[in-house]
Structure 1
Amino acid sequence: MKVILTRDIPSTGRKGEIKEVADGYAKNFLLPRGWAKPASTAIVAQVQAQRESELRHQQEKKQTIATLIPLVKKHSFTLTVKTGKDGQIFTAVHPEEIEKAVLTFAHTQPGGAIIDEHDIVCAEKPIKELGEKQVRITFGRGADGASFPITILVTGSDEN
């Protein structure tokens, strides 16, 4: 029986794959648990169209990331933290804040709306002092990703 897997199943296949399995395995195990759907010609065509759409989306994202990387490298990001009267910092600049700043910048660029928060990773420790810092980020996922330093300027604002 041909089925479309709705989740990864060890020694059977990955989610979205069309597999030929024994009738008993499909009827007694996969279908009742919702781990697979019978593969009719309409569903097979739908799955193939979805795969092609995902592939086009990935290619578009790859091209967008390639055009955004030089822009992100050149841009200097300014983040403001609260400071006391003596210039002491009350909070640190966390990696999530850096990722959000890069994501916001990416969304302002042409085609940048396709980038999501999972495409930008900053694995640095929180920044606890004012001034200009070099921070390494990874832009993109997997083999399409690029890791490079960006400039972060941490400025203070008096808390009143």
Structure 2
Amino acid sequence: MKILLLKDVEKLGKRGDVIEVKDGYARNYLIPKGFAVQATPSIIKHFQDINKLKEEVKQKKIIKLQAIADKINRLTYKASLKGGKEGYFGSITNEEICEFLKSKDIEIDKKQIELEEPIRTPGVYDVKINLGEGISGVLKVWVVKKEEK
């Protein structure tokens, strides 16, 4: 019997594969457990159409994420830390960077910002922002000493 796999099945194939199995195995195990359906031309076409739509949606999402990454790559965030003879007070955190990006109409979650620990010293930092689907942007963060008045 020809079947279309709905889920990955060990030693048989991956989701979407059309394979030939014994009738009893298909009727008594694969189909009742929801691992497969009998492969008719209409079901195969329907499954291919669904996969095509999913791929189109994924491609649109990737294009959108790439545009956001390009926008992030062009941005520079200038922040300041209070400092004295003893050192610097405060830090630049994921939340601050997230708020800066929100002000530039870029909505991301603070967990997407790859900052191992808060920035506590002046300097120039490249902060990686993981947008998903293997796409990331790098925000340049300039941290300067806040001028005391």
Q: Same-fold call, TM > 0.5?
A: yes
Q: Displacement, 1:148? A: 4.4
Distance 2:139 2:101 in 1: 13
Distance 1:3 1:54 in 2: 22
Match of 2:55 in 1: 55
Q: Which runs of 5+ in 2 are unaligned?
A: 80-87, 144-149
User: Is contact 1:98-1:122 (8 Å) kept?
Assistant: no
Q: Give the number of the structure whose alpha-carbon radius of gyration is greater.
A: 2
Q: Which of 136, 140, 145 is matched with 1:151 structurally?
A: 140
Match of 2:4 in 1: 4
Q: Which runs of 5+ in 1 are unaligned?
A: 80-86, 155-160
CA RMSD of aligned residues (A): 4.0
Match of 2:46 in 1: 46
Q: Displacement, 1:152? A: 4.6
Aligned CA distance change for structure 1 residues 78 and 34 (closer, same or farther; 3 Å): farther
Match of 2:33 in 1: 33
Q: Displacement, 1:102? A: 8.8
User: Is contact 1:72-1:102 (8 Å) kept?
Assistant: no
Aligned CA distance change for structure 1 residues 148 and 63 (closer, same or farther; 3 Å): closer
Q: Deviations over 1:15-44 (max 9, x none)?
A: 233322221221222122211122233322
Q: Which of 115, 120, 124 is matched with 1:129 structurally?
A: 120
Q: Which amino acid aligns with 2:66?
A: A
Aligned CA distance change for structure 1 residues 37 and 151 (closer, same or farther; 3 Å): same
Q: Displacement, 1:68? A: 2.8
* Aligned-pair identity (%): 23
Aligned CA distance change for structure 1 residues 128 and 72 (closer, same or farther; 3 Å): closer
Aligned CA distance change for structure 1 residues 39 and 75 (closer, same or farther; 3 Å): same
Q: TM-score, normalised by structure 1?
A: 0.59
Q: Deviations over 1:87-144 (max 9, x none)?
A: 854x9834xx5896698579x47xxx9xx87xx94443131538674312334424xx
Q: Deviations over 1:33-69 (max 9, x none)?
A: 2111222333222111111111212222233233332
Q: TM-score, normalised by structure 2?
A: 0.62
Q: Displacement, 1:71? A: 0.9
